[in-house]
Structure 1
Amino acid sequence: MRLKLSQWTLYMCASSRVTLDAVADAAGVSRITVSRAFSNPERLRQDTLDHVLRTASELGYRPKRAPVSTKDAPRTRRIGVVSPDMDNPFFGRIASSINRLGFEEDIDIVMYDSFESEAQESRIIHRLIAQNVDAIILSVISSDVMYQTRQPQWLKALETARIPLILVDREVNVPHFGGVYIDNLDCGYQAGRWMIDQSIRDVLVVSGPSDSLVSIGRTSGIREALGSAAQIDVRYADFTMTPAYHLMKQRLQEAPPPQGIIGINNQISLGILKACAEQKLYPGRGITLFSIDEVALADVFGMHIPCMRLDTDEMAARALSMALQATRHDVGGGTRMIVRGKLKP
Structure 2
Amino acid sequence: MSKSEIPGKVVAICGGVGGAKLALGLYRILTPEQLTVVVNTGDDFEHLGLHVSPDIDTVVYTLADLADRERGWGRANETWAFMAALKALGGEDWFNLGDADLAMHVQRTLRLKAGETLTTITSDLARRLGIAAEILPMSDDPVRTFVETDEGVLGFQRYFVGRRCEPRVERIRFDGAETARPSPRVLAALADPDVRAVVICPSNPFLSVDPILAVPGMRAAIRSTSAPVVAVTPIIGGQAVKGPTAKIMAELDIPVTALAVASHYEGLIDGFVLDDKDAADRAAFPVAVDVVPTLMQSMADREALARSVLAFAGRLEPRT
TM-score grouping bracket, smaller chain normalisation: under 0.3
Q: Taking structure 1 as the reference length, what is the TM-score of the superposition? A: 0.26
Q: Which has the higher contact order (CA 8 A, sep 6+)?
A: 2
Structure ID, larger Rg: 1
Q: Taking structure 2 as the reference length, what is the TM-score of the superposition? A: 0.28
